[in-house]
Amino acid sequence: MGVSEVYGRSDYAIIGELIEPGTRVLDLGCGEGLLLAWLKENKQVNARGVELVGASVQKAIARGVSVYQGNLESALEDYPDGAFDYVILSQTLQETRNPLKVLQSMLRIGRHAIVAFPNFGHWSVRWAHLWTGGAPKTELFPHEWYDSPNIHFLTVFDFESLAQKQRWKIERSMFLARGRQVKMLPNVTAEVAVFLFSASA
């Protein structure tokens, strides 16, 4: 799934709908800050971002978004508890070294967390694996196994199980295929899953 699609209008609309106006938002792996700039403009949020790629950070800062150049996994440690209303991790969870720790840190520094990730349970992935017998290569996961940035693969089902185990409260979940919402059998039909969740306690 390309960056343009991830940051396409359907994704804006979903995250835009989830986020209350005037809140404090941190976007992890924020790229060129398009989403944050959009939220700033349309939701008057206090927008912050973390991004590793210098050229993207430059673009984001030029857009007026306060972005910190650094690795998101180590960056999370510096922020104080409850610093944000929302911490967003869009299309990056599967690239993190320690996803559980990342998710837990998101809930430490944010009242709510929002994750969007490509669903490894999508039928096309299952089919590609079954049919070829190789590591699945699809539109959703276009990389060869040896050059993929994705190091932890997860499905809608996996995330929901983890949330239950960790006693997180899933406040909203939304599923996308071809830029549209799907409701039926999301573990099979969703290309991208978006979860809004919080620590239950």
Residues interacting with other proteins, by CB under 8 A?
A: 46, 48, 54, 57-58, 60-70, 75, 78-80, 83
Which residue number, 33 or 136, has a Cβ lying nearer to other proteins?
Answer: 33
Place of tokens 């800050």: 33
Other Cβ atoms within 10 Å of 52 Cβ, number: 16
Of 82 and 179, CB closest to other proteins: 82
Instruction: Say how far apart CA 71 and CA 178 lie, in whole Å.
Output: 30
Residue placing its CB nearer to other proteins in the complex, 24 or 129: 24
- Whether the CB-CB separation of 196 and 171 falls below 8 Å is answered with yes
State the Cα–Cα distance between residues 11 and 191, nearest whole angstrom.
Answer: 12
Which residue reads 């573990």 in tokens?
Answer: 187
Q: Tell me how far, at minimum, the Cβ of 53 lies from other proteins, in Å.
A: 10
- From the CB of 55, what's the least distance to other proteins, in Å? 8
For the CB of residue 110, give the shortest distance to other proteins in the complex, in Å: 11
Closest distance to other proteins from the beta carbon of 32 (Å): 12
Residue 13: CA atoms inside 13 Å, Cβ hemisphere, count? 10
Residue 178 CB-density burial (10 A; 0-12 exposed, 13-18 middle, 19+ buried): exposed
Instruction: Compare residues 68 and 153 and give the one whose CB is closer to other proteins.
Output: 68
Q: Which amino acid is at 126?
A: R
Residue bearing tokens 């185990």: 165
C-beta of 69 vs 94, nearer to other proteins: 69
Q: Which residue has the tokens 């978004």?
A: 65
CB of 82 to other proteins, least distance (A): 9
